[in-house]
Amino acid sequence: MTAEIVDGKAIADVVMTGLAEQLSALGEPLRLAALCVGDDVGLRSFVKLKQKAAQSIGAEFSSYFFDANDEDGARQTLQYLVGDEGVHGIFVELPLPVSWNSAALLSLIPAQKDVDVLSPHTQKMFYENHGAVVPSSVLALKYVLHAHEIAIRDMRIAMVGAGELVGKPVAHWLAQQGARVDIIDINTPHPSEISRQAEMVIAATGTPGLVTDEWIREGAIVIDYGFAKKGTAYFGDVDFASAHKKAGLLTPVPGGMGPLVVSAVLENLIVLVTHI
- The CA distances from residue 29 to 12, 15, 79, 143, 247, in Å, are 21, 19, 21, 25, 43
pLDDT in tens, 190-244: 999 999 999 999 999 999 999 999 999 999 999 999 988 777 788 999 999 999 9
The type of residue at 74 is: A
What's the confidence (pLDDT) of residue 276? 59
CA distance 93 to 258: 14
Instruction: Select 26-109's CATH number: 3.30.300.280, 3.40.50.720, 3.40.50.620, 3.40.50.10860.
Output: 3.40.50.10860
Pairing of strands 228-230, 233-235: antiparallel
Tell me the one-letter amino acid at 154: D
Residue 229 confidence (pLDDT): 78
Phi and psi (nearest 5°) for 268?
A: -60, -35
What is the mean pLDDT of the segment spanning 90-94?
A: 95
Percentage of the chain surpassing pLDDT 70? 99
Q: Give the strands of the sheet with 60-66, arranged side by side.
A: 60-66, 31-37, 89-92
How far apart, in whole angstroms, are the C-alpha atoms of residue 157 and residue 197?
9
Average pLDDT over residues 76-82: 98
Residue range 136-258 forms a domain whose CATH class is: alpha beta
Start-to-end CA span in the chain (Å): 48
Residue type, 238: V
Q: Do domains 26-109 and 136-258 have the same CATH topology?
A: yes
Domain ranges for the chain:
26-109, 136-258
